[in-house]
Amino acid sequence: MQQRGVTLWFTGLSGAGKTTITRAVEAKLRAMGYGVEILDGDIVRENLTKGLGFSKEDRDENIRRIGFVSQLLTRHGVIVLVSAISPYRAVREEVRQKIGNFVEVFVNAPLAVCEERDVKGLYKRARAGEIANFTGISDPYEPPVNPEVECRTDLETLDESVAKVLAALEELGYLPSNAKATVA
Ligand code: ADP
């Protein structure tokens, strides 16, 4: 199967929906026969970037390492789904330039919605002052200026968000039709 590698970079606040959307996109792509890998920020911080904290310097280093692995996979034809808050615009642009085949997905829900969801209970702890440098509360988040895809997860269903991502991949030429024919 001829598959073009690409990195799909999901950025957004904690609780915006990055993990949920990447998992659903992964399932769809695998069912279509594509080779996919997920680099999830929470998991990567337990191995590849273990020991890094949440200062700007450490956050940027976290993103550079994820970007490095993503670049290797991408050039070998993998569809890489990166799910990481990645709050700083400049380092996102840096990895975009390095990787080349790069699709930025802004997973966007207002802070109030993310906080209300509080999937991992972290906002509550951040508000209580138990977690420092928490993105959106006590640390900045710089939204993408011109993302290829924006998923407004407070306004659309998960299925709609997933469909948007897949449509963008198709439009940008990353889903060759012969691959789909192979598994149809
Ligand atoms: P993140 O990985 O960005 O921290 P999660 O995916 O862990 O966020 O959590 C997002 C939460 O929002 C989940 O509980 C999910 O069910 C919910 N949600 C509601 N609508 C959507 C949507 N359209 N897309 C993704 N998640 C959604």
Instruction: Transcribe 15-52 into DSSP letters.
Output: TSSHHHHHHHHHHHHHHTT--EEEEEHHHHTTTTTTT-
What pLDDT is stored for residue 60 in this prediction? 98
- C-alpha–C-alpha distance, residues 183 and 160, integer Å: 23
Domain ranges of the chain: 6-177
What pLDDT is stored for residue 181 in this prediction? 45
- Topology of domain 6-177, CATH: Rossmann fold (3.40.50)
178 CA → ligand 1 middle, Å: 32
| Angle CA 113–119–124, to nearest 5 | 75
Please state the atom number of ligand 1 nearest to the C-alpha of residue 154. Answer: 20
- For 48, residues 6+ apart whose C-beta sits below 8 A from its C-beta are 65, 66, 69
What pLDDT is stored for residue 177 in this prediction? 66
138 is catalytic: no
Please state the atom number of ligand 1 nearest to the C-alpha of residue 85. Answer: 3
Say which DSSP state 82 is in.
Answer: E
What pLDDT is stored for residue 184 in this prediction? 41
User: Average pLDDT for consecutive 10-residue bins of the chain (184 residues)?
Assistant: 89 98 98 97 96 98 98 97 98 98 98 98 98 98 97 98 98 77 45
What pLDDT is stored for residue 3 in this prediction? 84
What pLDDT is stored for residue 26 in this prediction? 98
Global pTM? 0.94
Please work out whether the CB of residue 17 comes within 6 Å of at least one atom of ligand 1.
yes
